[in-house]
Amino acid sequence: MSTTEQVRCQAQGPLRRIILNRPHAINALTTAMVEAVEAMLKEWAGDDAVTGVTIEGAGDKGLCAGGDVVAVRRGVLEGGDFRRFFRSEYAMNSLIDSFPKPLAVFQDGLVLGGGVGVSAHAGLRVVTARTRMAMPETNIGFFPDVGALFLLSRAPGETKQHGAHP
């Protein structure tokens, strides 16, 4: 079972808990985080002792503020491969979508951008009165999507802009 400073893992009997652990940044995702989550899920998918997984965010502000765009920008300026983050993030999202065991994500508080990818593909999503979902990167003309358009096009009922009138 792998754990990093930014992603904690707890075992409670047959349940495994993944805790995104950057509360000061509302658990904004780094490449190391998405790679750690993907590695854990791959390990547990084939482990008969694991019967379910949860994903949650540390702190009280929210599940995840999306990708850490500051870290991605810094990596680009340092000559790094910015595509690695997105490849890793999309691979993690795909694994969450196809995970063969019950996987519940607690969408409490802010769920932004990549946080939508971490949670919306899960088989079980728990929302609260504090849940606020958004894709704020669209305000700067950037829309990596994380599958949001696919999911919204299949959402039951109606989707309305906050404050919109029928």
| Beta-ladder partners of 67 | 29
CA–centroid distance for 106 within its chain: 10
Annotated catalytic residue 67: yes
Query: Among this protein's residues, is 157 annotated catalytic?
Result: no
The one catalytic residue among 109, 114, 115, 117: 114
Q: Pick the catalytic residue: 57, 67, 109, 113?
A: 67
Q: Given 43, 59, 145, 147, which residue is catalytic?
A: 145
CB 25 within 8 A of CB 5: no
Spatial neighbors of 53 by CB under 8 A, at least 6 apart, are 15, 16, 17, 18, 41, 44, 99, 101, 102, 103, 104
Burial tier of 90 (Cβ tally within 10 Å: 0-12, 13-18, 19+): middle
Catalytic residues: 67, 114, 137, 145
